[in-house]
Amino acid sequence: MLIREAGIIFQGIPIIFTSYHRASKEKTNLTCSSGLLGGLLNFAECLMEPIEYFESDKYSIIFKKGTIRDFFGDLQEIIAYIVIDKDERLEKYLNKTIFPLLKKILKKFISHFNGCNLTKSNQFESFKNILDKLFNVSTLTFEERVVSLLT
């Protein structure tokens, strides 16, 4: 399974995001993509609950919800997600690997940013290093590693 991207969404807005393999050469609007993702998840949960993942012809998007206290002491819902290439073995790895990994991401994020103002996304940039460690940056292809070294 190839990890394309991972991140945390708060109210349809990406507060942290990292990309390991681009799905296309075109630039996408991250806020629109995350808003759409959040909207789809909310719509799907109106019909049935819980929603664990979406699958398309090429990709699978897996979700894990959590709650965090914001700056005002209110509990807010956040969603950790991961986008991977579609794989027939997904069901086999969901409970063994993917959900525990998303749970770990949520736990680390909550422990670092509990009580923070969730609308100020600059403060979350350091969390990308934690995501890289959890996903092991070696998920990059040889060409991507070379490009990242040159830029």
The whole-number pLDDT of residue 18 equals 82
Separation CA 18–CA 115 (nearest Å): 23
Predicted TM-score (pTM) of the model is: 0.79
The whole-number pLDDT of residue 132 equals 83
What is the full per-residue pLDDT of the chain (151 aa) written as tens digits? 688 888 898 887 888 888 776 654 455 555 566 667 777 777 777 777 777 888 889 889 898 999 999 999 999 999 999 888 888 888 888 988 899 999 999 999 999 999 999 888 889 988 988 888 887 655 455 555 555 555 5
Joined tokens for residue 60: 């699978």
The whole-number pLDDT of residue 149 equals 52
What does the CA dihedral 102, 103, 109, 113 come to, rounded to 10 degrees? 140
